[in-house]
Amino acid sequence: MNSAAAGTSTPDTRTGRFGGLFRRARSGIDSLPVHLPVRLGGAGISQTKATPMRVLGFDQALVWVTVALLTWGLVMVYSASIALPDNPRFARAGYSASFFLTRHAASVAFAFIAALLAFQIPMKTWERAAPWLFVASLLLLVAVLIPHIGINVNGARRWLPMGFMRFQPSELAKLAMVLYAASYMVRKMEIKERFFRAVLPMGIAVVVVGMLVMAEPDMGAFMVIAVIAMGILFLGGVNARMFFVIAALVVVAFGTIVASSPWRRERIFAYLDPWSEEHALGKGYQLSHSLIAIGRGEIFGVGLGGSVEKLHWLPEAHTDFLLAVIGEEFGLVGVLLIIGLFLWLTRRVMHIGRQAIALDRVFSGLVAQGVGVWIGFQTFINMGVNLGALPTKGLTLPLMSFGGSAILMNMVALAIVLRIDYENRVLMRGGRV
């Protein structure tokens, strides 16, 4: 058996009392295919004596799907924002037709550099740094609420000035929650059957983050952070009864938040009937024009650049409602392709997490699966909103929508997943990490 494939050393059978016996046994084993316990690159890899195994250093398919989504996002941000300088809201600022494209391209370039740096950091270091990163995200969430420090846009205080970009701490909080929840589950693995000792401290952490994020306010980010924490608790092996109790409490909490806020209640009513006279020019305006855009696209779309709704009809076309422009310009085919790419990406990230757990690397596995929950859930919410299946919520389409902080954190998260995959491959070659 090839020792590199099996990850163990082969004893010397040329010497010793039982050399002939070992040689006969080894010749019989070499005639059979040797299968790894996990799969690499999404396909089963087997090795025989005639076909040596080749293990790449990273998951190339995952990289290329990410690049495809980023590239398509660049094209669509330009298409959706090219007419914005003609809007009176932006005309006074003197923006050019390529202003948003240039900023988005700069964000992608910066995120790529940050992702390369994140890939160099071993997972052991990420595990040690997880609590400190979580504390740092809390401090930034506090800082954004301080007058004259946080930037207020349309009544929401969500950004910190960073010179070359506006940084959104809630995006960092999503990544910090993934790392912190994974490290917490590893540390509390032996008491995960006890509700108060295992779950309550994690619940308090989520509540603290939620209170800070809701003060901005940003209910969409809070939903994603809560789902990330719940997903990692479930995948980490928390008792199923406790998990369903937690899920019920979360549903009740969000229901109470919506019921106690008049403008959030209006959004729900507008979602239920966006075409009514009461809502068509109010809370249902974005949803109704998103549905018009997708309806105009039909099967094959009106062609790249041919969208009418982006011409000052559909608000936030380059951010929250980018999928509506894709649906108008590329039709049902384009929307299904986007859904397929995100579905594959989420499935692949979750698979890398299962590989890590199979190799007894629980922290790495939970981090990868947490990133899969994050990207998958946020994509589901954004697409549901654009397609009229869910009430309007301010969440961007990962890797594609305009937004420097979101692109940065998405890229860093995927770089960490690639690092996990790289370390998985090193271990399966018999190396050490």
Domain boundaries, the chain: 3-47, 61-421
Q: Which of 323, 346, 321 shows the shortest CA–CA distance to 65?
A: 346
Q: Residue 162: what pLDDT?
A: 82
> What predicted TM-score, i.e. pTM, was given to this entire model?
0.84
How far apart CA 127 and CA 239 sit, in angstroms, is: 24
Single out the residue of 66, 163, 90 nearest to residue 318, CA to CA.
Answer: 90
Question: Is residue 338 over pLDDT 80?
Answer: yes
Q: Which pLDDT score, from 0 to 100, does residue 275 have?
A: 83
Q: Max CA-CA distance within the chain?
A: 93
8 A C-beta contact, residue 104 and residue 71 = no
Residues 121 and 396: their CA atoms lie apart, in Å, by 28
Mean pLDDT for the stretch of residues 196-208: 81
148 CB-side CA count, 13 A: 0
| 8 Å CB contact between 307 and 400 | no
In the predicted structure, residue 88 carries a pLDDT above the cut 80 = no
**CA separation, residue 160 to residues 89, 93, 101, 412 (Å):** 22, 20, 21, 19
Per residue in 277-312, pLDDT (tens digit) is 777 777 888 889 999 999 999 999 999 999 999 988
Which region among 63-77, 190-204, 358-372, 419-433 has the lowest average model confidence (pLDDT)? 190-204
pLDDT bracket for residue 41 (50, 70, 90) = very low
What is the DSSP code (8-state) at residue 22? H
What b/e sequence results for 410-422 when a residue is b if at least 16 CB atoms lie within 10 Å of its CB, and e otherwise?
A: bbbbbbbbbbbbb
Question: Per mean pLDDT, which range of 4-13, 112-121, 314-323 is the poorest?
Answer: 4-13
